[in-house]
Amino acid sequence: MIKKLLIANRGEIVPRVMRACRDLDIKTVTVYSDADKDMFYLQEADETYNIGPANPIKSYLNIEALVEVIKTSGVDAVHPGYGFLSENASFAGAVAVNGAVWVGPAPAILKAIDSKCYCRKIANDAGVPVVPGTIDKINDVAEIYRFASEHGYPIVLKLDKGGGGKGIELVEEEAQVKDAYERLARIGKISFGHPECYVEKEIRKPRHIEIQFLTDQFGNCICLGERECSIQRRYQKIIEESPSPVVSEAERAVLFDYTSRLALAMGYRGAGTMEYLRSEDGKFYFMEINARLQVEHPVTEFLTGIDIVKKQLTIASGERLGITQEEIDFRGHAIEARVYAEDPVTFHPSPGTITKVDFPVTDSNFLRIDHAVEEGGKVPPYYDPLLAKVIAWGPDRPEAVERLKNALSDFDIEGIKTTIPVNLLILSSSDFIAGCLDTGFIEALYLKDKEASVKPLWPCM
Amino acid sequence: MEVTIKAHMPGLVARVVVNEGDRVEAGQEVAVINCMKNELSVLSESKGIVKKILVQEWDEMEVGSPMVILEA
């Protein structure tokens, strides 16, 4: 079993991983940039190290600095959290070279799945439907015209090695093709070092549905249900829930089959997520794989009672899954709201100092808050705006939603602006209550609200 | 008359989009600040010639940090 773990990340995920370590009797090592030196969770770690200035490239993305910490502290494993270097094959490789265990899939897998076309190919070969489009990268603009003449517009051009919502171009008509292709190649070259792209048919008004899975090194794979993540803005998720209001028992079984087949075909080890799009006419298409712990993992933990971080750590230690698919007990409904440090009207970032916090009363059965918030704490402008996740459980969807709304109403953060009013507006909207969701939900809600009134957009502020 | 264009948000300088000697109009973007992964334009309030660029990529900005000096 792992004895001492480096948590190579910042923010709310650090205390989350530390909690699992406490339960498993693992010592913890944390790191911080100059901007994060006063974060409360640092004091709770067994050891903590400064890894550089505020700029993430020089700190949380600085492989050399992190390797130095591995050597100095003598950790035998590294948990990369999410974001930053969590899916970086070079870092995973460097961890292994320095004699520590990487809590996640092998570097070779991380390297391979960095290519979306590789993922599309392996899915296609495994009989898992992918969004209609080219499986291979395209070599010239003529291939795009050829695809469009066969399938019609709109189409979407995507970078083979894009990410974070960057490297996607929607093309509505033939006249836009050439410009879009050239722009994408330019972005790819500058931002990712790879200009290659492929083409897909646009799926209109899709739902974003993902399957959480766990695999061990003995070829066992279990699926821990789906998460509906359609409520997002600019590819940033806002509300996640499980089960999805639309996925039937039969569809779930099919998605589980796709997911475990793909994970095993890749030789994947650890926790991961397969993302699917569901079209308006109810078809599912594999989109991509997230080879890390996800922000929204608590939703699944509430639903199944399985501690995903603990499972990551025991699997990385070489243990068996210890649970079969049949033994998983899916109970009730779980829902998460992400609280961002953003202006609820303009969505502009809102860094600063938290002058006051009042948390809702949590309860291990019904309400959980994962956060990096404390009175007097700083919210630096250099990193992701995620402040906290509020997760509620109920025997059914209405009760879970009600609990979440009550908790958000009782959650008071002062000194900076937060998106709590946005969450409340979403949860109270008739479309949300009816379960009518797609990835254009926020835009539509915004528009409706604007048309309905000339009053401030979010009167509950 | 010299005019200093200052950061309106904290964050990191993502890029400077003008060069010394460039002519800029009021409302024109002169730099971009990355604040919490959002790219925000820094606009010139007046027109003039770029006299001096005080920042470079990845510099840490606070609200009011001087970025560009214009000869208005």
- Using CA coordinates, name the residue in chain A closest to B58: A55
Distance from CA of B51 to the nearest CA of A (A): 27
Size of interface A-B (CB pairs under 8 A): 38
C-alpha distances in angstroms, A294 versus A173, A255, A454?
A: 36, 18, 38
Q: How confident is the model at residue A236 (pLDDT cuts 50, 70, 90)?
A: confident
A153 at interface of B, judged by CB pairs closer than 8 A: no
**CB contact at 8 A, A156 and A130:** no
* Domain end residue (candidates: A154, A180, A201): A201
Q: Which residues of A are catalytic?
A: 292
A375 with A226, same domain: the answer is yes
Total structural domains in chain A?
A: 3
Residue A457: pLDDT band with limits 50, 70, 90: very low
**A382–B60 CB contact, under 8 Å:** yes
> Within a domain: residue A90?
yes
- Does B36 contact A383 at a Cβ distance shorter than 8 Å? yes
Q: What's the CATH code of the domain at A196?
A: 3.30.1490.20
Mean pLDDT of chain A: 94
Domain identity same for A69 and A188:
no
Binary contact (A385, B11; C-beta < 8 A): no
For A326-349, what is the mean pLDDT? 96
ipTM above 0.85, yes or no: yes
Residue A17 lies in a domain: yes
Two tokens at A253?
Answer: 């079984």
Whether residue A219 sits in one domain with residue A156:
no
The domain of A313 spans 207-452
Q: Do A85 and A153 sit in the same domain of this protein? A: no
Which residue, of A164, A180, A201, is where some domain finishes? A201
Q: Does A341 touch chain B (CB under 8 A)?
A: yes
Q: A351 and B60 in contact by Cβ < 8 A?
A: no
Question: Is pLDDT at A188 greater than 50 in this prediction?
Answer: yes
Residue A84 lies in a domain: yes
The answer on A94 and A184 residing in a single domain is: no
Q: A243 preceded by cis ω (within 30°)?
A: yes
Q: Which helix (H) or strand (E) holds A79?
A: strand A77-79
Is A412's pLDDT higher than 60?
A: yes
CATH of residue B39? 2.40.50.100
* Binary contact (B12, A53; C-beta < 8 A): no
Summarised one tens digit per residue, pLDDT across range A12-67 is 999 999 999 999 999 999 999 999 999 999 999 999 999 999 999 999 999 999 99
Q: Using an 8 Å CB-CB cutoff, list chain B residues near A53.
A: 60
Segment A197-203 mean pLDDT? 95
Last residue of a domain, one of A201, A235, A255: A201
A interface mutation test: which of B36, B40, B41, B59 has the most A CBs within 10 A? B36
Q: Are residues A409 and A445 in the same domain?
A: yes
Residue A85: give its domain's CATH number: 3.40.50.20
Looking at the structure, do residues A221 and A188 belong to the same domain, yes or no? no
Give the contacts of A371 (CB within 8 A, at least 6 positions apart). Answer: A12, A339, A387, A388, A389
DSSP letters, A414-433, are: ESS--SHHHHHHHHHSHHHH
Is A241 part of any domain?
yes
Q: Minimal Cα–Cα distance from B37 to chain A, Å? A: 6
Residue at A457 is within a domain: no
The answer to the question of residue A459 being in a domain is: no
A348 inside 8 A of chain B by CB: yes
What band does A456 get if pLDDT is binned at 50, 70 and 90?
very low
Q: Provide the β-strand partners of residue A222.
A: A214
Structural domain including B39 reads: 2-71
Weakest mean pLDDT among A31-45, A262-276, A384-398, A435-449: A435-449
Whether the per-residue pLDDT at A451 is higher than 70: the answer is no
Better-scored residue on pLDDT, A451 or A371: A371
Same domain, A369 and A236: yes
**Is the same domain home to A424 and A285?**
yes
Q: Looking at this protein, which amino acid is placed at residue A44? A: E
A384 within 8 A of A341, measured Cβ to Cβ: no
Beta strands in A349-455 (DSSP E): 352-353, 356-358, 367-371, 378-379, 386-394, 412-414
**How far is the alpha carbon of A53 from chain B, nearest alpha carbon, in Å?**
10
Does residue A227 sit in the same domain as residue A162?
no
Domain total in chain B: 1
Same domain, A84 and A193: no
Contact criterion met (CB < 8 Å) for A351 and B35: yes
